[in-house]
Structure 1
């Protein structure tokens, strides 16, 4: 019975992640068919404070809970499927809080309603999020969001050893999911003050989070990842460290 419940929980977590991420991707762009976007509605006097708190909450949950020491302290010897699914559910919840509680902010840097700049921004938006999505499958999409862990719990299959993979986008940047996400966040034909705050805050979180993630990867994968880090740039293709 426990194995069945773990799989159901993993499936719920996976669907929660897909819904929240899909909504976020649509939410950051001024689609006319979306009833709620980053710039729709009117913000209050505490818009800046609320928005910073929402970004901070997501950053803390998404990064701190990912650290092995924190996982051990929070979950102890609980099954891997439960730990991963709980992390995924809480991440989805934080994204939904951003989407539904975000306060629009007045003012904008630019707004392109048509023309080459509009279509360039739109194309980059599509390419960025597409890159992030494809990159999840170039490692293991269902492992990343916890569904494989739930399936292994259901079938009684032991957790496999972590394997180092270097294929697809990962041959050119070490973190293509984050590269695509940053492009998707910034590529918009309407750069409002609120969008600028969101894109800046999330980009800063990504950069800080990657510092800790890289340390964990070195501990887990050892010399193979150290060599990989010397050979492949973190986020920008062809931008290697100078000797």
Structure 2
């Protein structure tokens, strides 16, 4: 089980256990991992904003604060399937594992009739999911570095075959011409650079924070690209609407 999937499953386990919570030993047995791994996962959940509580001593353990479940979501079956199809067709996109986990959460809280109709319709939609030549480990490191805004050290082979090690401050993950790129400030070249993710052979997140380079320094997006929030607009009441 990938870590993103395990974190989602851990969240659901804690939610189901309610006020009783779980011990680290129980969680470790459930997922077949060490208690040390469990504690790292719990720290990651807490860092992401999940209201994880812990109690020491006999009867202690870990759980989620009450009221953390998703509220019922109002979607049509077709809207639910549109989300499933978009994620399934973009398995090579950044945060694809987390997106899939998010869709599962949304489907779980649909009313039973809508969920049944959505799942039936989903079985009638087939997608040809693109495969990425970048490893999942590389993607996970780039995603973490982008989210935490920390320098990532990469082993990179250029199109001409030369291999270098670069310390990069991530600014963008951009898709262009059918390929994904890490766009960031290269400390070796002291300039903004585009790195094809499929040519990143290794990536390790460092503890060094980024120095503050912005998207504006990259310039305007290509004519065939736009930010992923480009189809969503904020209306005066503060909510969002699809443009």
Task: Give me the TM-score of the superposition, normalised by structure 1.
Answer: 0.24
Larger-gyration structure (1/2): 2
Greater fraction of residues in helix: 1
Quick one: higher RCO (CA 8 Å, sep 6+), 1 or 2?
1
Greater fraction of residues in strand: 2
